[in-house]
Amino acid sequence: MIGQHKNIALVAHDRKKTDLLDWVQYNQETLRQHSLFATGTTGTLIEQTLKTPITKFNSGPLGGDQQIGSRISEGIIDLLIFFWDPMESLSHDTDIKALLRISVVWNIPVANNRITADYLISSPLFSRAYINQTPDYSTYLQRKTQVM
- Read off the DSSP letter of residue 38: E
Catalytic residue among 22, 65, 78, 95: 65
Residue ranges in 8-92 assigned as alpha helix (H): 17-26, 28-31, 40-50, 64-73
65 is catalytic: yes
8 A C-beta contact, residue 50 and residue 26: no
Residue 37: its H or E element: strand 35-39
Which residues are known catalytic residues?
A: 65
